[in-house]
Amino acid sequence: MKTKIITVVLLLGFVISTNAQKKIKITELPKPAQEFLKKYFSNISVESVKKDAEHGEKGYEVKLKDGTEVEFWKDGTYREVDGDDKPIPTAFIPKVIKEYVAKHYPNEKITHIDYGHKDLDVDLTNKIDLEFTKEGKFIKGDKVKK
């Protein structure tokens, strides 16, 4: 009986996690997401596109062939770009943040940007993790622990 309960719970967990991410076509992304990918990542092929319900919020996750991951809010605006420790394009990053990085870390590149609910997280090639307000005001910077 105990084994059956465990099996049912595991199966239920698998079904729920499978439904949380559903593969879709790139043409099913909201227009702003399609335009963002075309403008900033047109030279990299798309590996997969998923409708994502992470943290109870609907959105989209796009994996590119070079390992970069781009997440979008449900309206198609970008939420996160993760270059997998490689530099990412910066044209879409707020100017104040690019200026801060250039001034304080002139030899480093941005590898990750993530809009949270309250702040903006930016990672650099030297593993420094910077935190900003959504308006771009610097909060703190820490060495990433890996």
Lowest mean pLDDT among 46-55, 70-79, 93-102: 46-55
Check: CB of residue 128 under 8 Å from CB of residue 110.
no
Class level of CATH domain 91-145: alpha beta
pLDDT of 66 > 80? The answer is yes
Q: Could you name the CATH architecture of 26-84?
A: 3-Layer(aba) Sandwich (3.40)
- Residue 3 is encoded by which pair of tokens? 């084994």
Residue with the larger pLDDT of the pair 58 and 121: 121
CA–CA separation, 96 vs 93, rounded Å? 9
- Mean pLDDT of all residues in 8-20: 47
Find the Cα–Cα–Cα–Cα dihedral 77, 58, 87, 146, rounded to 10°. 150
pLDDT reported for residue 1: 58
* Residue 53 Cα distances to 9, 74, 77, 131, angstroms: 20, 10, 15, 25
pLDDT reported for residue 18: 45
pTM, rounded to two decimals: 0.80
Enter the DSSP assignment of 125: T
Angle at 64 between CA 134 and CA 142, to 5 degrees: 40
- Residue 95 is encoded by which pair of tokens? 């100017």
- Residue 89 is encoded by which pair of tokens? 């394009």
CA–CA separation, 19 vs 22, rounded Å? 6
Confidence bin at 46 (pLDDT 50/70/90): very high
pLDDT reported for residue 77: 94
pLDDT reported for residue 19: 46
Tell me where in the chain the CATH 3.40.1420.30 domain(s) lie: 26-84, 91-145
